[in-house]
């Protein structure tokens, strides 16, 4: 989901807040910390993914 949403960063598809959120998740993923996402982060990630890819 994060990789798919990274394709939307820098486009008009995501708001600036959403872009920053996705970039933060990508940084966490690159550092191997995806398992440490909070419930709120997971919920927001799922919502964004459904909004753009469902």
Residue 8 confidence class, pLDDT cut points 50, 70, 90: very high
State mean pLDDT over 8-31. Answer: 94
Quote the pLDDT of residue 25.
95
Can you spell out the DSSP letters for 28-44? HHHTT-GGG--HHHHHH
3-state helix, strand, coil in the chain (%, to 5): 70, 0, 30
Quote the pLDDT of residue 54.
85
pLDDT at 23 over 90: yes
Could you give the CA distance from residue 50 to residue 54 in angstroms, rounded to a whole number? 5
Quote the pLDDT of residue 35.
87
pLDDT at 34 over 90: no
Q: Is the dihedral of CA 16, 20, 25, 31 positive or negative?
A: positive
Helix (H, G, I), strand (E, B) or coil at 3: helix
Looking at residue 15, what DSSP letter applies? -
State mean pLDDT over 17-44. Answer: 94
């Amino acid at each position: 989901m994060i990789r798919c949403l990274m394709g939307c960063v820098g486009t008009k598809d995501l708001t600036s807040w959403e872009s920053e959120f996705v970039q933060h998740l990508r940084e966490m993923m690159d550092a191997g910390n995806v398992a440490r996402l909070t419930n709120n982060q997971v919920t927001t990630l799922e919502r964004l993914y459904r909004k753009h890819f469902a």
